[in-house]
Chains A and B, each alone.
Chain A
Amino acid sequence: MPESVFAPWNDASQKPLIRFRNVTKSFGDFTAIDDLTLDIYEQEFFALLGPSGCGKTTMMRMLAGFETPTSGVIELAGQDIAPVPPNKRAVNMMFQSYALFPHLSVYENIAFGLRRGNMPKQDIDDRVSEMLKLTRLEKFARRKPHQISGGQRQRVALARSLAKAPKLLLLDEPLGALDAKLRQATQFELMDIQEKTGTTFVIVTHDQEEAMTVASRVAVMDEGRIMQVATPEHIYEVPESVYVADFIGDVNIIKGAASPVGEQTYQIKWSKTAAPLNAVSDRPFSEGQSCHLAIRPEKVGIHADRPADADNAVQGTILDIAYLGNISTYHVELPGGQIVKAQTANTRRVSRRSFTWEDTVWLSWTATAGVLLAQ
């Protein structure tokens, strides 16, 4: 699904499938969701990303109907869903524990939801077969949940929640119980199924890589509030706050004071001795306003000599080298104690590596490499 085509959130004429309007949910003194407003569109693969306890699971359980908002309104296709009990909602959920019924076979698990309506037996049969085929479980239809592997159980849970063709599918940490390798394969499978069925998926996860891989948009949450909603690329390249920049991937944060030097260009005074840094920013800063420059380590170059035409160049000594196989991260200490990480791809063998501990090196980056943030 090319992002350039599918972007209903930029289209004012599109009606969102789900609207959270000023939703607050508290449990006693604890506020799990704090005055949250959010739109999710049809056919989106929407990820709620955040550390545990940030309220993402509560949002999902409110959509499923297991919790009711303390205040505010949640709309599904324009209808307030507060009075609709879970068993009457066109919303299905895939549980973190999968919640497969241990006393029922794979087939019966998938048919469970279909049998609750008055669907003819033949249609149920057809639908279950379709689901078994979609999730490649045909061979295991007669088995009980404990007779299949973890990955297969995950697919049964998915098939069961999709069987009723819900308007919205909720996935609570759907890959959390799988090991790393299987998880990667399953991520693509999940995207594939989402595309085939055209169902709107809302996934809850604490794994940023997973969210970045599968989602059309990601909402980064913290303490019951949404910090930023954007496409994965946008979240990574243009974070709106230090929190988001820091939460997604690795980042260098350099604190300083901004001073405008031209249209959207600023100088940042960050150290008493060193020269100010140059940066470009859409966000306006006034003279002397404190700011944070966020630069991803892979955008910082490392050199033996001062590069001639760099926008920014600073000198430091190598403190640590983290060798990760495909890449290496250099921790470089600048005069004044600031540590900046620089990442390079290991295109040469280790023995030919150019830098080692205690070496004095130059770091450089362009004026557009970093993002200037107020907070």
Chain B
Amino acid sequence: MQRLILIAVPYTWLLALFLVPFLIVFKISLSDVELAIPPYTPTLSDGIVPFFKALDFENFAFLASDDLYWKAYLSSLRIALISTFLTLLVGYPMAYAMARAPEEWRPTLMMLVILPFWTSFLIRVYAWMGILSQEGFLNQFLLWTGLISEPLTILNTTTAVYIGIVYTYLPFMILPIFAALDRLDGSLIEAAEDLGCSRFQAFWLVTIPLSKNGIVAGSFLVFIPALGEFVIPSLLGGSGTLMIGKVLWEEFFNNRDWPVASAVAVILLLILIIPIVLFQRNQQRQAEAEQ
């Protein structure tokens, strides 16, 4: 009896507030827009049979025909991929240096990496607005050093979005890589050097393969949320930065086209399923390897 309640309560909660809402999104993506409240048709009050008859894939056909959406999906994918790669470039050396740092420093270094994660996401993105703007600190600094003579336009470009994503998601990349490198037995490197590897060869042939799981996990942890990102492109990106999260938001709040917004959401989720499944597989393999 106790067990039943224990299972039923969180189960029901998630069914009602996670699964059912998602089914509603799916249903509305098959509906038509209408000037009413709610602004779509059909609803269940129309009766069961006409309800199902009125559902169609029109919205998806519309998404396929309008190249705005195609471009938005593709550009989201590209931005997410490139920024994941950039985050790896910044994150790996940091994780490596942390794992090599004296043991008594490591908890402090860990805390320093995690600390920004607890600070507001919005504030961290906002901090870059003041830095990247025309008269921002970066331009002031570069002008002062004489490297440039005209201020650069960085804010409201895709470059700013890259910087924003790398900055906000860096801890997600560092932590799994650090965890993998921290576990790495130092004598393995010594063994490799003893067997004739140079420092670089030992790094390439031993360290990198053994931290692969960390790299993969970190990359997915950046890539997956970056794909549906909304705050960063809308604050740092310009009108030229197309990202699907932003398109969905505008479709919903500005155009009030709920059926199309829902269809955008459904497609985004379909795209996300692949990396999510891959990520799960990687985590599972890692867990099995540890046993």
Within the complex, are A and B direct neighbours (CB within 8 Å)? no
On A, residues with C-beta under 8 Å from B are none
On B, residues with C-beta under 8 Å from A are none
